[in-house]
Structure 1
Amino acid sequence: MTIPKNWHSLTLKEVLEEQLLIPRKIRHFLRTKKHVLINEQFSHWQTKLNAGDDLTLIFDEEDYPPKTIPFGEPSLVEELYQDEHIIIVNKPEGMKTHGNDATELALLNHVSAHVQQTCYVVHRLDKETSGAVLFAKNPFILPILNRLLEDKRISREYWALVEGKLSAKSLVYKDKIGRDRHDRRKRLVDNRAGQYAETHIQTLKTFPTTSLVQCRLKTGRTHQIRVHLSHHGHPILGDPLYHPHAQGRLLLHAYKLTFTHPLTLQTITVKAPSTSFEQGLDTFKRGQHIKNNF
């Protein structure tokens, strides 16, 4: 990789530890094997880097032992973006992001078959939710992407069609979320013992009995958007767990993913289309028109 301007004057040690988040064990391997090169020359850990320097890291199998999973069906993958390190795909509703056990085939298995190498889940979508999902293509970049997610530097935006009209055009829900003791499949608002959850809601369009809303996640709790909207009296249409009269598909779609690529520092913005989500909107528009821009 090429050292960017904002890493200028950092030491090699600082880049490997703080920017690339390489684990201590792997850094030890790189150092003892002289597998870190700056402009094709092995350099000491305290060497200061200059913008434009070429940084080369060489890994052996003992650094990152190969992990194999069963390959799925590559034809089931709709690729939205791919480079040497990551791939973003458009998950259809009704498919799990990853299986519950090693033998269950899910999107992860299909994506791995698509790129012909084992991939790694960075974040997941509920089985009933469609849209953009990010995968790491190697174990080196996985912890870096996980850190971006934890630091809220990966923006995930969803569209949902909900019951009723919200009390304001823009809202922020911060209710804590915990497990439902009576139904292990479900979550509920539990402000005493639950985990902090934050969802930003903006109304995009209102209809006689429903609203189209945009949701931005600041945390990633299980069923977070579904629980928050349902708790405040606006369950998502088609939600089999949180809508009392669910019909059709869950009208929740992860339509946009935005972040800065940690190695190229380019802004990656991906939008995911969904024919079934658009069809669901048409069903509930009740004769009104909305322009879909995704």
Structure 2
Amino acid sequence: MIARLRIDLRGLTLESAAMSDSENEPEVKPALEWLSERYPDSPRKRLKDWFAKGRIHLDGVVIKKPHEEIADPGDRLSMGGTPPPVFFRYLPTRIHAQATLLYIDSSLAIVNKGAGLLSVPVPGSNQVSALTVLENFLQGKGATELDQQKGVHRKRLIPLPVHRLDQYTSGIICFAMNPKARESLVRQVRDHTFLREYMAIGDGKLDQKRGEWRAWFRLDEEGMYQAVFETEEEGTTEAISRYEVVEEYSWPTAVKGQRHTVSKLRLRLETGLKHQLRIHAAGAGVPLLGDRHYHPDYKSALENKGGMPYNVQRQALHASSLGLVHPETGKMRRFTCKFTKDLADLETMLRDKSKGQ
């Protein structure tokens, strides 16, 4: 009787495990079926016509086979051709002294963040952030215009972080406006298909005017500082950046026959680790002007409470361009913004100094 009970229990366990494995298998069915669930009011004939006309996208790529078997695509399957509505009539619009809303729809928002403003809230801190500024605007000053629009559920518009900028780096930052959109955008960041370009001013000259920087980073336990290695070590992550010299400014130094050069750089993140561009630039011999961590002159000035060279008060780094596949339309979108006034003034000063010599 005991042996028989053991067999029965084993059988039950195996059956339960088999059921569990079956439940964990992703459901697979034709793309048409998934699209029909997303657009239940649309006849199948119309859906098939959308496939034929190339209006259906999977991960931003057109698919024309309605009967192609795929696992649950979630928001990766979308209909292109009809852009989502933009919520505000006048864009860009200033939403804070240090933040301008450049674009917003039901999936994402693009904000031009000023230097000194946090990207997202820091636990235990009362400092304002770009995310909270946007949220407050949507539920505050922007609420009236939102409530006038049919089909817009203002309370559901909750900005969610996708990536971050250092506090004293200015420029474009993207926020998702719903969890599904965030999943799509974060996936692009992790897959390195989320384009992030910066303009920077580095102190020095690069022999090669275009190239790639690679190193291995390991963040300390406090999440504050990166240890940098030339080869892979235990616990390290590879950091890859691309650079291009856009312009050079130079003038004679006190040493006869020598000149000092400052370089305007276009930088692109292939990976996105903490302080990556600043560390790469310093390692290449062009530390960013104003960088109090990685430029020895600014670090020394901070420690000795002296004046900052060229009167630059923060790192000369500006997020100038973002490129992404829109979570809803599946189309590639590109957003850009120019230098902030402080960096534009710095650029003018360096150019005048160079021309004057």
Shift of 1:103: 5.6
**Preserved CA contact (<8 Å) 1:74 1:113:** no
**Preserved CA contact (<8 Å) 1:188 1:227:** no
Structure 2: unaligned runs, 5 residues or longer? 1-29, 57-73, 75-93, 140-156, 251-260, 299-307
Q: Residue 336 of structure 2: which of 244, 268, 271 is its match?
A: 271
TM score, norm. by length of structure 2? 0.61
Aligned length: 241
Aligned match of 2:112:
90
Aligned match of 1:39:
41
Change in Cα spacing, 1:284 to 1:106, as seen in structure 2 (3 Å) is: same
Letter of the structure 2 residue corresponding to residue 283 of structure 1: M
Shift of 1:138: 1.2
Percent of aligned pairs with the same amino acid: 26
Q: Does 2:326 correspond to 1:261?
A: yes
Change in Cα spacing, 1:219 to 1:49, as seen in structure 2 (3 Å) is: farther
CA deviation profile, 1:41-85 (whole Å, cap 9, x unmatched): 7x9xxx97943789xx9xxxxxxxxxxxxxxx9434301111121
Q: Residue 288 of structure 2: which of 236, 242, 252 is its match?
A: 236
Aligned match of 1:64:
none
Q: Could you say which structure has the higher helix fraction? A: 2
Q: Within 1, Cα distance between the matches of 2:227 and 2:202?
A: 17
Q: Within 1, Cα distance between the matches of 2:336 and 2:100?
A: 12
Shift of 1:159: 0.6
Q: Does 2:122 correspond to 1:100?
A: yes
Q: Within 2, Cα distance between the matches of 1:184 and 1:133?
A: 21
Aligned match of 1:167:
207
Shift of 1:287: 2.3
Q: Within 2, Cα distance between the matches of 1:230 and 1:188?
A: 13
Aligned match of 1:130:
170
Shift of 1:212: 0.6
Aligned match of 1:67:
none
Q: How does 1:17-56 map to 2 (within 5 A)?
A: 36-40=38-42, 50-51=50-51
Task: Report the 3-state secondary structure (helix = DSSP H, G, I; strand = E; otherwise coil) of the residue aligned with 2:239.
Answer: coil
Task: Report the 3-state secondary structure (helix = DSSP H, G, I; strand = E; otherwise coil) of the residue aligned with 1:285.
Answer: helix
**Preserved CA contact (<8 Å) 1:159 1:252:** yes
CA deviation profile, 1:174-202 (whole Å, cap 9, x unmatched): 11112368x96332422324211100011
Structure 1: unaligned runs, 5 residues or longer? 1-8, 17-34, 58-72, 290-294
TM score, norm. by length of structure 1? 0.73
Q: Within 2, Cα distance between the matches of 1:257 and 1:94?
A: 20
Aligned match of 1:63:
none
**Preserved CA contact (<8 Å) 1:86 1:134:** yes
Q: Within 1, Cα distance between the matches of 2:100 and 2:351?
A: 28
Structure 1 stretches of 4+ with a deviation exceeding 6 A read: none
Shift of 1:228: 0.7
Aligned match of 1:206:
248
Q: Within 2, Cα distance between the matches of 1:178 and 1:126?
A: 18
Letter of the structure 2 residue corresponding to residue 186 of structure 1: Y
CA deviation profile, 1:238-260 (whole Å, cap 9, x unmatched): 00111112232210000111122
State the superposition RMSD in angstroms: 2.9
Task: Report the 3-state secondary structure (helix = DSSP H, G, I; strand = E; otherwise coil) of the residue aligned with 1:287.
Answer: helix
**Preserved CA contact (<8 Å) 1:235 1:242:** yes
- Greater C-alpha radius of gyration: 2
